Amino acid sequence: MEYSERLENTAVLGAAGKMGSGIVSLVSQEMADLSLKPENRSKTFVLHAVDISHQALSGLVKYLREQVRKSAEKKIVSLRSAYADREDLVDNGEIIDAYVSRVLDIVRPTTLVAAAAEAHVIFEAAPESLDLKLKLFAGCAGVGSKAWVFTNTSSIPIHEIDEKAFLGGKIMGFHFYNPPAVQKLVELIRGKATLPEVAKFAETLAKSLRKTVVPSNDVAGFIGNGHFMRDMLHGISEAERLAKDMPFTGAVYSVNKVSQDFLVRPMGIFQLVDYVGLDVCQCILDVMDPRLPGKGLKSALIDRLLGQGVKGGQNHDGSQKDGFLKYEGNKIAGVWDPEGKRYVPLSEFQAECDKKLGPLPEPALPWKAAVKHPSKDKALADFFGKLDGMNTLAADLAKRYGSRSKEIGLGLVSDGVAASASDVNKVLLTGFFHAYGPVNEYFKEKVVR
Amino acid sequence: MITLRRKVYMTAGFNTVSMGSGRKEFHPKKPRPGLEDYIKEAGKGTLSKIGGARNVDEGVIGNFMAARFNNQGNLAALIPSIDEGLKWKPCTRVEGACCSGGLALASGIKSILAETAEVVLALGVEVQNTVKAVYGADILSTAGWRKDRKAGHAHYFPGKFSDRAGAYYAKHGRDKTRSAMARWYRNAIENARLCPTAQEHQNNQKDLDAMGMTEPNPRSFVEHLSVYDCSKVSDGASAIAIMSEEGLKRAGIAKSDAVEVVGFGQVEADLTVPPEDPTRLETTARAVEAALRSAGIRASDLGTVETHDCFTIAGVLATEAIGLAKPGEGPDFVLAGETSRAGKVPFNTTGGLVGWGHPTGATGVHQAVTLWEQLTGKAGSAQIKLSPERPYGLSINMGGDDKTVVAIVYRKAA
């Protein structure tokens, strides 16, 4: 069964979620593009979009209608060629409408997992729980099924899913980054028994979706979360250390600020944790910790905050929910105090913290300016060179942070998770929009504890 | 040949800002002024300089496609919304695609010549940012032959002028032509920076030559043009008063504040037939020839030109159509700096369509306003110095792919 034939019947499990809806959008458009080729005109392409509630699925359809339209507007030049023989479709507007209808005709929303049983390709984007995933596969894949499974897990080893769901090697890790429609990065993970033809299909699909592929070995957390979780735990331990000399809220604020402004990252570490969701981070740690014992991959603080109902994550409109930090629009307005069980407004401690932290190196190098900088490497070297010569609290925190991040990156290579330091850097540059990779010359390689 | 049986003047020009991407105050998702606001602003701007609506005999408005951009027809009836004093006066709306403004001027000139009016308020307007560019392309494509739309490019008119550019590259050399187009872009932006109403007024890009040389990307746009070779999507309106000698007296306008229309040419080509030679703007050449003949002057008498550079290649081709450069030598003329504000014949001194903006139906009137400003010394920072031996200004307004063209020759009134 060749590429296009296999894509004639697909399914996405968890289709209405944050990741699932993006995957539905990308895959259904790939299917629509194939269906427009002359040799495929007589074929019917179907994508079963499976999720638990009709309400969520209505939201998916609405999202698709908007997403596919935007994407069609962008690719109007190629769409006009694809529709060249449709005499009735003349204006761009008519062609775009026709394309949106075609994609929506392919997508069949359903709450029944069984619908996915006829699919040749199943994308799984359910929450990060092995039990849940196994339950889903029991209803549509495994023994007797022709389906190849591509799981969007960001942490669970592929070989474990393979063995426990009896998939016989018809599975591969296909880890999109959030949001899938925008993020270029895909981590591809082969399990021990993954069939070569499954891996080949995954590579072809990733290429066709114009994704940047980084292969990761089949170790819990892979490269992306392998770095992020440890980076997050470093941030938490730094905040806890600082909290001995200042209020906890000020410590969280300070570490968040240093990890953004002084490390030239797109957002601070606690804002990133909020963006991903504390619950998601906890799930990932719960997967990683037992599989990588003795590495301390757990956080009592995250467990505590979740116990207090502090979750983070995003609302349906993409706006940020409160987590470690409180948000007003996209701006940070306060920090959660687990003792007082309330958000303390920034105005109560920001000025004092900023004073303790000390100034940025001059000239400052905001992340946005760094990524657009025509000579980015030199600008970063200058900035971090100046930082190195500073003895402020912020400079100390930043240097410890940069060194730890580098240590994590090198650890991923020495532990055999990543094939090379450049793969680690590519994941952070592409998937996390960092301005520079963790394995760099800006920070010394030393163990920070 | 058109002979002017009595003197025709223009005065009291007014331009709104050309609004769209590039202007800092432009936000595609925020509410913006509508068609009626632009018409009012430009109309009131001119009325305030000619003693009010009571001095106006007639109104004419050029507009291309308000019916689709704004779901609005019957635009003549928006002229009385400018000022109650215009109510019950004869008004006309004219349409000739991007030459609608030029047709409004021609129509006003003819009313003066016909002695049916002594003062005509001429306006042009277009508000195009109501739809995304990809749908705007469909609306603008109606300036071409409908039966050619299906075979046309997604970006229909960029596609048409990309084809012209491609043909010109093949015939006269790509490198030289691309460089001249890049130079045209630089001149346009540099001139726009001197004019506060220009859409590119706030453009502070340092390396304009490099921007102009951006390689075309046929995957996302057209084969032979980059986006810098194109005028932008604009909202805007312009107004000017067209008057007889009697009209000037009535409105109390000194001759020194007016330009005289010394000749004009109006030419139509067949919409259903593609250009015979894509490397030439034949209709433009014919309109200019008629205008110069009507004025009794030669191309070498021109001191400044406002030409219809909807695309940089159209600007380069115009130098040949006017007769300032021989066929194939337009790029050399431009590269030698002859069309820059320091050159022999400064072109598009407030930025033209590429730099000032291209609110399609308003463009023809905007060109007249710019020439009125330059010839009467009202162009502010954009003012050029004209040589006394070459006191004439020429405007060329083109509709569609060189189909409807109005060319007008002006000089300072005396």
Task: Report the C-alpha gap between A259 and A275 in whole angstroms.
Answer: 15
Dihedral of CA A144/A147/A153/A155: which sign? positive
Q: For residue B406, give the nearest of B187, B107, B85 by alpha carbon.
A: B107
User: For residue B205, is pLDDT > 70?
Assistant: yes
pLDDT at B140 over 70: yes
ipTM above 0.90, yes or no: yes
Q: Using a CB–CB cutoff of 8 Å, tell me whether B210 touches chain A.
A: no
CA distance B113 to B339: 33
Superfamily of structural domain A224-431: N-(1-d-carboxylethyl)-l-norvaline Dehydrogenase; domain 2 (1.10.1040.10)
The whole-angstrom distance between A74's CA and the closest CA on chain B is: 8
Q: Comparing C-alpha atoms, which of B343, B358, B260 is closest to residue B308? A: B358
Query: How far does B253 lie from chain A, in Å, by closest CA?
Result: 49
Backbone angles phi, psi at B60, to 5 degrees: -140, 135
Residue A448 has pLDDT above 90, yes or no: no
In this structure, which amino acid lies at residue B311? F
Would you list which residues of chain A are within 8 Å, Cβ to Cβ, of chain B?
Answer: 73-74, 76-80, 87, 90-93, 96
pTM score, two decimals?
0.90
What sign has the CA pseudo-torsion A350, A353, A359, A365?
negative
Confidence tier at A330 by pLDDT (50, 70, 90):
confident
Sign of CA dihedral B34, B36, B38, B44: negative
Tokens of B154: 């997604």
Search chain A and give the residue with CA nearest B219.
A77
Residue A357 · residue A392 · CB < 8 Å:
yes
Residue of chain A with shortest Cα separation from B146:
A90
Which pLDDT tens digit goes with each residue over B339-392?
A: 999 999 999 999 999 999 999 999 999 999 999 999 999 999 999 999 999 999
**Alpha carbons B195 and B190: distance in angstroms, whole number:** 10
Second CATH level (architecture) for the domain B146-230+263-354+379-412 = 3-Layer(aba) Sandwich (3.40)
B28 touches chain A (CB under 8 A): no
pLDDT above 90: percentage of residues in chain B: 99
Q: What is the largest CA-CA distance in chain A?
A: 74
What pLDDT, on the 0 to 100 scale, is given for residue A367? 97
Q: Does B381 touch chain A (CB under 8 A)?
A: no
Q: How far is CA A319 from CA A97, A312, A322, in A?
A: 29, 11, 10
Distance from CA of A188 to the nearest CA of B (A): 28
On whether the CB atoms of residues A153 and A222 are closer than 8 A, the answer is no
A381's CB contacts (< 8 A; 6+ apart) are A441, A442
User: Which amino acid would we find at residue A285?
Assistant: L
Is the CB of B219 less than 8 angstroms away from the CB of A80? no
> CB–CB of B317/B194 below 8 Å?
no
Asked if the Cβ–Cβ distance from B134 to A87 is below 8 Å, we say no
Residue B133, min C-alpha distance to chain A (Å): 9
CB contact under 8 A, A91 and B220: no
Query: Of A78, A92, A94, A95, which to mutate for an interface test with B (greatest number of B Cβ within 10 Å)?
Result: A92
Contact check, Cβ <8 Å, A80/B132: no
Q: A225-250 as b/e, with b when 16 or more CB fall inside 10 Å? A: bbbbbbbbbbbbbbbbebbeebbbbb
- Scanning the structure block, which residue is given the tokens 């009202």? B378
Between the two ends of chain B, the Cα-to-Cα distance in Å is 24
Q: Does the beta-carbon distance from B135 to A93 stay under 8 Å? A: yes
Which member of B134, B220, B221 has the closest CB to residue A92?
Answer: B134
Kindly state the average pLDDT of the residues A42-62.
Answer: 96
B205 contacts on A by Cβ (under 8 Å) = none
Give the pair of three-digit tokens for residue B271. 């919409």
| Interface contact flag, A77 B138, Cβ < 8 Å | no
Q: What is the pLDDT of residues A241-285, one digit of tens each?
A: 999 999 999 999 999 999 999 999 999 999 999 999 999 999 999
> Best residue in B135, B141, B223 to probe A by mutation, most A CBs within 10 Å?
B135
Looking at domain A3-216, its CATH class is alpha beta
Q: What is the pLDDT of residues B91-103, one digit of tens each?
A: 999 999 999 999 9
Q: What's the one-letter identity of residue B240?
A: I
Contact A152, A171 (CB under 8 A): no
Q: What percent of chain A has pLDDT above 90?
A: 94
CB B291 within 8 A of CB B263: yes
Cβ of B24 under 8 Å from any chain A Cβ?
no
Describe the strand order of the beta sheet including B58-62 as a list of residue ranges. B91-94, B58-62, B119-127, B235-243, B8-15, B258-268, B404-412, B392-399, B302-306
Contact criterion met (CB < 8 Å) for A78 and B219: yes
B188: left (phi over 0), alpha (psi -120 to 50) or beta: alpha
Per-residue buried b or exposed e for A395-421, using 16+ beta carbons within 10 Å of the residue's own CB: bebbbbbbbbbbbbbbbbbeeebbeeb
pLDDT digits (tens, 9 = 90+) for B216-228: 999 999 999 999 9
The reply to whether B217 touches chain A by the CB within 8 Å rule is no
In the DSSP assignment, the letter for residue A382 is: H
Query: Hey, which residues does B394 pair with through a beta bridge?
Result: B305, B409
The percent of residues in chain A predicted with pLDDT above 70, rounded, is: 99
Contact assignment for A91 to B149 by CB distance below 8 Å: yes
Element (H, E) at B408: strand B404-412
Nearest to B250 by CA among B118, B123, B89, B85: B118
| Contact call for A90 and B219, based on CB within 8 A | no
Q: Cα–Cα distance between B162 and B278 in angstroms, integer?
A: 10
**Residue whose C-alpha is closest to residue A201's, from A120, A117, A143, A141:** A120
- List CB contacts (< 8 A) between A210 and chain B: none
- C-alpha B10/C-alpha B412 separation (Å) is 10
Token pair for A339: 């003792």
A77/B154 Cβ within 8 A: yes
Å from B138 to nearest chain A CA?
Answer: 6
pLDDT of the residue at A447: 52
Note whether B76 and B91 are within 8 A (CB): yes
Q: How far apart (Å, rounded) are the C-alpha atoms in residues A241 and A228?
A: 20
B117: tokens are 């009016």
Chain B residues within an 8 Å CB radius of A77: 153-155, 218-221
Any CB–CB contact under 8 A between B205 and chain A? no
Segments making up each domain of chain B, as ranges: 8-132+233-257, 146-230+263-354+379-412
pLDDT at A317 over 80: no
Residues paired with B62 in a beta bridge:
B94, B124
pLDDT of residue B1: 59
Cβ separation A90–B220 shorter than 8 A: no
Shortest distance between the Cα of A93 and any Cα of chain B, in A, equals 6
**Smallest CA–CA distance from A75 into chain B, residue:** B220
Mean of the per-residue pLDDT values of chain B: 97
Angle between helices A393-414 and A376-388 (to 10 degrees): 120
Residues of chain A contacting residue B153, judged by C-beta atoms under 8 Å apart: 77, 80
- Whether B130 has its CB under 8 Å from any CB of chain A: the answer is no
Q: How many CB pairs under 8 A join A and B?
A: 30
Among A72-76, A283-287, A326-330, which stretch is predicted with the lowest mean pLDDT?
A326-330
> So what's the architecture of B8-132+233-257 in CATH?
3-Layer(aba) Sandwich (3.40)
pLDDT tens digits along B277-310: 999 999 999 999 999 999 999 999 999 999 999 9
Contact B154 A90 (CB under 8 A): no
Q: CB under 8 Å to B10, separation ≥6 — which residues?
A: B105, B240, B241, B242, B243, B258, B259, B261, B368, B372, B410
Task: Give the mean pLDDT of B34-59.
Answer: 98
Parse chain A into domains and list their residue ranges.
3-216, 224-431
B285 with B306: CB under 8 angstroms?
no
Mean pLDDT for all residues in chain A = 95
Q: Does A91 contact B141 at a Cβ distance shorter than 8 Å?
A: yes
Q: Which of B138, B155, B221 sits opposite A91 (nearest CB)?
A: B138
Tell me: pLDDT of A445 over 90. no
Closest CA to A423 of A433, A408, A434, A412: A412
